[in-house]
Structure 1
Amino acid sequence: MRRAVVAAGIAVVAAGAAVAAAVGFGGDDGSTAHAGDLPPTSAPVTRETLVATEEFDGQLGYGEPVALRGGGGMVTWLAAEGATVSRGKPIYRSDGAPVVLLYGPLPLWRPLAPGVAGPDVRQFEQNLAALGYDGFTVDDDYTGATADAVREWQDDLGVDETGTVTDVAYAAGPIRIASHATEVGAPAGGTVLSYTGTTRLVTIDLPVGDRDLAVAGAAATVELPDGKTARGKVATVGAVATAAEPDGDPTVQVTVTVADQKALGDLREAPVDLALTAESRADVLTVPVAALVALAEGGYGVQVLDGGAGRFLAVDTGLFAGGRVEVSGTGLTEGMTVGMPS
């Protein structure tokens, strides 16, 4: 976490204070140290983009399940929990007839038959065409040609060839069966099952006070239980806060997607750590936090090593992150070697 990084940096500086006080700028030659006084290790001054992050507890999974309600009849078959269902494939069967999955944002809210027109017709015809059926025009009108293609489709499904569409289910894309809400032999009039998307993602309950850290499109880092990491991107940021738990803050849900699913390994669900960028500094000089020393005259400095001797330069510090610190000061340049007294 960002606060943990900063705190660690301050502790290291404090540990080096005694060394710096003994060789501060105050004496005649106190600004120079010779071979016997040089620190045991060193590091280069680098120019880079320094990024500080905040870590939050997250959950790897497939997102919030969506309930699928049946249209009536009796459940005679259910796709298995964990199974993936794609366009044109059955999700469950009612009275022996398959209820197939199609893609789109609109539900089937009325029977589709010749004479019906509207965007729901276009959505259905787009799916019918994607499944390989033709002989009709994809538009807002359900015509006799559409009905003929539907009869061909129904014949392939093994159901009555009515030319009318009465029972399909829509989702944004392929789905994964999360859980069954009923069983074979039960009525299909209520919630039959729940489903999620097929792509794993990370969700976190982000305290409202940290909401500015989550910007849609911003980079995020997912750390898995085995210590491996995956690159993610903030996809959605909730606009409604949940009530605070006792001794807690109100939170909003943030969703992070991971393009490289292989980087997540074979875990389907797991607690993870999610790092969001809290602050960054581009193109700045940095040194390890352990290179900072507290000068006798006040403030901080670094010991520049050059040929078998060392000299102290006063520096101003900026952002602390990842064990390094942003520094600036007269005479400090990229590529210099600085001592690490602790």
Structure 2
Amino acid sequence: MSGRLKGVLVALCTAAAGSAVTAAGVHASAAFFDAGPRARPAATPTPTRAVTATKPITRGDLVDKESVNGTLTYAGERTIKAGAGGTITSLPAEGKVIKRGRALYHVDRRPRILLYGKLPAYRTLKEGVKRGPDVEQLERNLRALGYRKGMTVDTRFTAATRRAVRAWQKDRGMERDGEVSPADIIFLAEEVRVSETNVEIGDQIPAQRPVLKVTGTDRLVRIDLDADRQDIAKVGRKVTVKLADGRKATGRISRVAKVAKVAKRSDNQESGATVEVEIKVSARSLGSLDEAPVTVELERRRAENVLTVPVEALLALPEGGYGVEVVEPGRLTRVPVKTGAFGNGRVEVSGAGLAEGLQVSVSGR
């Protein structure tokens, strides 16, 4: 049994033990000690007394959980820098989701279009340019946007590619020159959400000036877990996320940092090493909240198909350890128990004579 559980049980049960052990019970315990350890009974009849409340022994799974504070945010934040200098003429609203083929912002009324891909735009693509995977990436996006007539998706920028680019430029209100430069497009892995704007409409900016901060659309919870407890956070394990308004969502641990970090308190003293844990959560279940405080329930231990009793049914025995009082018609029997997992106000117990459905006393506890 963990030290934490032992402390809880002692606090809950000490008072109960004092009320439950009568003078006769004390004499019985003394006689028991005189008899030696081999004479220790599995259960000890206790003097008849009024039992005002009982609860049943149940069988099932018991989960011991630990709650940790965290922050709800979005995954994959990055900064978008200007592809060309000029005057900012249009910006998206914070929180807006930008999909493939849509403008992230405008400079001199010229849109910077989001396309999907892992390779950054690093050169102007036009007819006659050297073959490359960036050409294939552009053509794949043109096809996904509906500009596919006569164009083959490969590494060559052909006349058919140029025609597709011109048609796309016409529909987007761009100059129809059949060429695509890094000032016109930006390749990102997927749709993004605007988290912050770093400029204002009307600002004169140079190339490479930070314009926006964007994130992915996946929801993420970050927690800092004490390094000595990181064994309870395993990648792939399900957790429960609780919002301040009472809503709950199921998440899954997606990353556990391999290197611990040491935080400092306001007095500049170290407060202990922690590891950062990231948890993916369904966006649908959490709405649009960002940077909101949450509580994450992590599973410490799971005991399957075990007997359990309410914590308040435990009492501290004079000879040490814990027991329960089994209530049967006309008889009250104190049974020593071995405790195990703890969770949701119940504790795993085992001992001679215990069975599912038996009633245990919780009177005065």
Contact 2:191-2:216 within 8 A present in 1 as well: yes
Q: Which moved more, 1:240-249 or 1:332-341?
A: 240-249
SS at match of 1:302: strand
Cα deviation code 1:219-269 (max 9, x no counterpart): 11212112332221112222344343233123332221222x444356333
The Cα of 1:321 is off from its aligned counterpart by 2.2
Contact 1:235-1:256 within 8 A present in 2 as well: yes
The Cα of 1:64 is off from its aligned counterpart by 5.8
Distance, in Å, in 2 between the alignment partners of 1:217 and 1:63 is 17
The Cα of 1:41 is off from its aligned counterpart by 1.7
Distance, in Å, in 2 between the alignment partners of 1:242 and 1:334 is 47
- Asked whether 1:103 is paired with 2:121, we answer no
- Asked whether 1:165 is paired with 2:215, we answer no
The Cα of 1:125 is off from its aligned counterpart by 2.3
Distance, in Å, in 1 between the alignment partners of 2:102 and 2:330 is 75
Q: Which moved more, 1:121-130 or 1:85-94?
A: 121-130
- Asked whether 1:42 is paired with 2:48, we answer no
Match of 1:9 in 2: 9
- Matched to 2:305, the amino acid is D
SS at match of 2:245: coil
Cα deviation code 1:31-84 (max 9, x no counterpart): 1454x432x222221222222222222111224631011111212211122222
Q: Which moved more, 1:3-12 or 1:71-80?
A: 3-12
The Cα of 1:281 is off from its aligned counterpart by 1.7
Q: Which structure 1 segments of 5+ residues have no match?
A: none
Distance, in Å, in 1 between the alignment partners of 2:285 and 2:244 is 13
2:270 is matched with which residue: 241, 244, 247? 247
Match of 2:39 in 1: none
SS at match of 2:118: coil
Change (3 A) 1:281 1:30: closer
- Matched to 2:239, the amino acid is A
Q: Which moved more, 1:217-226 or 1:163-172?
A: 163-172
Cα deviation code 1:113-146 (max 9, x no counterpart): 3344333333322222221221322233333322
- TM-score calculated relative to the size of structure 1: 0.89
Distance, in Å, in 2 between the alignment partners of 1:6 and 1:120 is 62
Distance, in Å, in 1 between the alignment partners of 2:356 and 2:125 is 71
The Cα of 1:20 is off from its aligned counterpart by 4.2
- Asked whether 1:186 is paired with 2:204, we answer yes
- Asked whether 1:217 is paired with 2:236, we answer yes
Cα deviation code 1:318-340 (max 9, x no counterpart): 12222211111122122222111
Q: Which moved more, 1:208-217 or 1:82-91?
A: 208-217
Match of 1:90 in 2: 103
Match of 1:284 in 2: 306
Contact 2:262-2:271 within 8 A present in 1 as well: no
CA-atom RMSD in angstroms: 2.5
Q: Which has the larger radius of gyration?
A: 2
Distance, in Å, in 1 between the alignment partners of 2:62 and 2:295 is 20
Cα deviation code 1:260-319 (max 9, x no counterpart): x44435633311111212222222211111111122333211112223432222211112
The Cα of 1:161 is off from its aligned counterpart by 1.8
- Asked whether 1:55 is paired with 2:67, we answer yes
- Matched to 1:7, the amino acid is G
- Asked whether 1:68 is paired with 2:90, we answer no
4+ runs deviating over 6 angstroms? none
- The aligned runs of 1:104-253 (5 Å cut-off) are 104-114=117-127, 115-135=129-149, 136-166=151-181, 167-184=184-201, 185-189=203-207, 190-245=209-264, 246-253=269-276
Distance, in Å, in 1 between the alignment partners of 2:261 and 2:186 is 31
- Asked whether 1:331 is paired with 2:349, we answer no
Contact 1:82-1:176 within 8 A present in 2 as well: yes
Count of residue pairs brought into register by the alignment? 338
SS at match of 1:127: helix
The Cα of 1:88 is off from its aligned counterpart by 0.8
SS at match of 1:282: strand
Contact 1:59-1:269 within 8 A present in 2 as well: yes
Contact 1:20-1:294 within 8 A present in 2 as well: no
Distance, in Å, in 2 between the alignment partners of 1:203 and 1:223 is 13
